[in-house]
Amino acid sequence: MSAAPGAKTFVIDGVDASATPGQTILSAAREHNIFIPTLCHLEGLGDVGACRLCLVEVKGARRLLPACTTRVDEGMEITTNSPRLADDRQMTMQLLFAERNHVCSVCVANNHCEMQSMATTLGMTHVEVPYRFPALTVDASHERFTLDHNRCILCTRCVRVCSEIEGAHTWDVMGRGIQSKVITDLDQPWGTSETCTSCGKCVQVCPTGALFQKNRTGERRGKDPSFLPYLRTMREEL
Amino acid sequence: MMSHEELEQTTAKVQQEQRAAGDRINVCVAAGCLSLHSDAVQKSLNEEAKKSGARCSVRGVGCMGLCSAGPVVSHEPAQAVAAEDKTTAQPTRLYGGVQPGHAAKIVASLNREPVRELAIDTTMPFFAKQTKIVLENSGSINPESIEEYIAVGGYRALLRALHEMTPAEVVQEISASGLRGRGGAGYPTGLKWATVARAAGATKYVICNADEGDPGACMDRSVRESDPHRVLEGMILAAYAVGASQGYISLRAEYPLAVQRLGVAIREAKRMGLLGAEIAGTRMSLNLEIRLGAGAFVCGEETALIASIEGRRGTPQPRPPYPAESGLWNSPTLINNVETYANVSPILARGSAWYAAQGTAKSKGTKVFALSGKARNTGLIEVPMGMTLREIIFDIGGGVPAGHTFKAVQTGGPSGGCIPESLLDIPVDYDSLMQAGSIMGSGGMIVMDDSSCMVSVARFFMEFCMSESCGKCIPCRAGTAQMHGLLTRITEGAATHRDLDLLVRLCEMVGATSLCGLGQTAPNPVLSTLRYFKNEYLAHIEDKHCPAGVCECAATPAEVNA
């Protein structure tokens, strides 16, 4: 097999690998069946490098680099897992769990939650940092969907899918730092939004129970994963 | 079309007018003195001057540096105004704490002895030890007059570069000067310019980062308010060097005076043909616009600043790509801060060798600092790189107030650290400060004495980072909040050793994993105080006692022992 023109060869976790020009470390790693944890990344949406779970060590780089936005360079030597990375990733998950009111047992997304399964995958057994227990609201004004700020991790997948795919840009983020929150329109109740098309893409891409469909219980309450591959297809056909 | 001859004509005209006007009374009308109502002082001086019929002019000028003595007024005798050689001329008199009621006395003193009770000793180390390049015009020219800027040599470097130098030669000159970015990180300016100049793309932009948001920092604000044309000239030269025809000055709406003066400066420069289309009759064009931000510290980070100029939410983006390759509207973009641009025209006017001869091996030129906190003389100072912290604090700053002892100096704002007494003899340059656990930063320098609690200081800066975090990445958003909570717990005397260990671990994690400089450097004030003042942390934790007497710990040591 000959390499594609301009292909980049690199080493990832000690394995020789190749990537197409412009390909990100994350995408190349997944092609080589190497797992790099992510929460804000979603195939088909623009990457923002916000969750910091995909940070990897690149030899010669001064800092850890996000795999989702860093492009593979010729000769790169990448380490996707190390005691230090594992430690940082666990702490990131702990910070998330302590930030808002993530109580899995009473969450609509229990057992269907990317955050929950990521914590398990990364071996998080307990939360050392103090829980913050902020008083947050729930917006159930939309006739089909609900927004629960208590479960939101600010990955901005909803913001991106609404803006980049649906083209409505109903969602955005307001506030700073720990006070940040996702909003619909100019912080209007979701049900009164004039831009929302009620397409539900935001609900399907939400990794947690922050956005969910009303009146669904039991096994039907999970997200519809069959929906997700279309994002990529839609994007490619643009 | 503006030519060298016209610049000289303007200069001659201004100088003649100034000579004809006799003695000059300059009132500082930069933000510091204005907040002490120097505008009222200027008004009564004007009235008194008219009433007395004395041959003098009263002018509003920029910052004269010694802000702690404000409102500051200077008096240049007519003979000094006219003198070719300023060093042998009759010295300028400086007055501090001037109130409108003092106006008559000052006007009456013009040809007599100075007003004793207001006089400031201009030979004291505060003035004598400074070297002024960036601030050379600050406090001596009217910031709203382009003619006065031209009269002190302004825009000569620009015209010479446009007519006699290629853009590559300008870049080469800046590289040879050794100038490093004054925004804080100290990236070599020439290298940045060369990268943008080389970048492919028909459209390129220059941006002036005038966001300046560090607590206790007012260097750039003062330069913009005191000598705005200096910044414009630097930007136009940069645009010529990298091939940009559009530029933006991004600053906060909270600096209305700077906004107004830069606006006037842009208008005046356009009127004189020094900005806009076909500058000085050459093919070089540059359109400059002011963009106002809503006062977000994170918008000093270059990718967030670009987002803000584009009209988006000011949040940083992962780099690479660096703005030099793909910045504003995905075009190659040069971003420098105010002080960096202010250094450009003197370098081109006097040569890179002259500039490189000042400072240390790796940090050239001078640096402006906003000296504040527990020093006797506070204000805006400019010193050669390599001066020791001790000289700055004890000679220029005059040391800490009587009855107190020096404890630490904080440099670099929320991204910097606290340096203890034992390290005061290190030279002030990028690398030495970094080694000491702090950074040069944009130039904030806060002096602290024994009345400051170092845990509270760390907590203050963490609170700042927590509320200024943009909220995009998890380590910075949630990590700064957690660190702030732990520091609060320590100051309340409620923390355990386990909390301290967790704090240290969070410092390392947030520093290593945050997306932009804000989060990456947010732990610095904690780490540096832990490095040099760990005993204070331990006193809060073990003895429930604040050595400086600042924190209200729940229990006093006596109660714990009982």
Q: Give the one of A52, A63, A98 whose C-beta lies nearest to B475's C-beta.
A: A52
Q: What is the pLDDT of residues A155-198, one digit of tens each?
A: 999 999 999 988 999 999 999 999 999 999 999 999 999 999 99
Q: Reduced to 3 states, what is the DSSP secondary structure of residue B333?
A: strand
From chain B residues 221-240, the ones with a CB under 8 A of any chain A CB are none
Residues B320, B191 share a domain: yes
Q: Give the one of A55, A99, A178 whose C-beta lies nearest to B513's C-beta.
A: A55
* Chain A positions touching chain B (beta carbons under 8 Å): 48-52, 55, 63-64, 66, 69-71, 87-88, 91-92, 95-96, 98-99, 128-130, 132, 153-154, 172-173, 175-180
B506 and A64: CB-CB below 8 Å? Answer: no
Q: Which residues in B38-63 are b (16+ Cβ under 10 Å) and which e? A: beebbebbbebbeeeebebbbbbbbb
Per-residue pLDDT for B342 more than 60?
A: yes
Residues B404, B287 share a domain: no
Find, among B67, B65, B81, B73, the residue nearest to B39 by Cα.
Answer: B73
Token pair for B92: 């300028």
B545: domain CATH number?
A: 1.20.1440.230
Q: Provide the 10 A C-beta neighbour count for residue B34.
A: 19
Which residues in chain B have their CB less than 8 angstroms from residue A172's CB? 313
Q: Tell me, what DSSP letter sits at residue B118? A: G
Q: Tell me, what DSSP letter sits at residue B23? A: E
In a domain, A3, yes or no: no
CA dist., res. A60 & res. A77, Å (int):
9
Q: What is the pLDDT of residues B290-334, one digit of tens each?
A: 999 888 999 999 999 999 999 999 999 998 899 999 999 999 999
CA dist., res. A208 & res. B472, Å (int):
17
Q: Give the one of B313, B485, B486 whose C-beta lies nearest to A173's C-beta.
A: B313
Which residues in chain B have their CB less than 8 angstroms from residue A69's CB? 318
What residue ranges in B232-332 does DSSP mark as E strands?
246-252, 287-293
B509 and A87: CB-CB below 8 Å? Answer: yes
CA atoms within 13 A on the CB side of B262: 28
A116: domain CATH number?
A: 3.30.70.20
Token pair for B281: 């009759």
Q: Tell me if chain A has a CB within 8 Å of the CB of B469.
A: yes
Residues B478, B329 share a domain: no
In a domain, B482, yes or no: yes
Which residues in chain B have their CB less than 8 angstroms from residue A128's CB? 502
CA dist., res. B394 & res. B448, Å (int):
12
> How far apart, in Å, are the Cα atoms of B470 and each of B316, B473, B516, B534?
8, 8, 10, 30
Straight-line distance from the first to the last Cα atom of chain A, in angstroms, rounded to the nearest whole number? 31
Please tell me the total count of domains within chain B.
4
In a domain, B95, yes or no: yes
Residues A154, A105 share a domain: yes
Residues B494, B442 share a domain: no
Range of the domain at A90: 86-236
Number of CB pairs < 8 Å for A and B?
100
**In the prediction, which pLDDT does B214 show?**
87
Q: What is the mean predicted confidence (pLDDT) over B39-49? A: 94
DSSP β-bridge partners for residue B447: B373, B409
Q: What is the mean predicted confidence (pLDDT) over B34-47? A: 94
A50 and B505: CB-CB below 8 Å? Answer: no
**In the prediction, which pLDDT does A234 show?**
64
What residue ranges in B390-465 does DSSP mark as E strands?
406-411, 417-420, 444-449
What is the interface pTM, i.e. ipTM, of the complex?
A: 0.94
Q: What is the mean predicted confidence (pLDDT) over B255-264? A: 93
Element (H, E) at B359: none
B473, B489, B502, B514, best to mutate vs chain A, most A CBs in 10 Å: B473
**In the prediction, which pLDDT does B555 show?**
54
Q: What is the mean predicted confidence (pLDDT) over A60-66? A: 95
Range of the domain at B194: 154-355
In a domain, A1, yes or no: no
Which residues in chain A have their CB less than 8 angstroms from residue B469's CB? 176-178
In a domain, A174, yes or no: yes
CA dist., res. B115 & res. B108, Å (int):
9
Residues A171, A65 share a domain: no
Residues B45, B181 share a domain: no
Q: Provide the 10 A C-beta neighbour count for residue A81.
A: 15
Total-model pTM? 0.93
Cβ(B492)–Cβ(B502) below 8 Å: no
The domain boundary, picked from B449, B464, B498, lies at B449
Token pair for B161: 């570069």
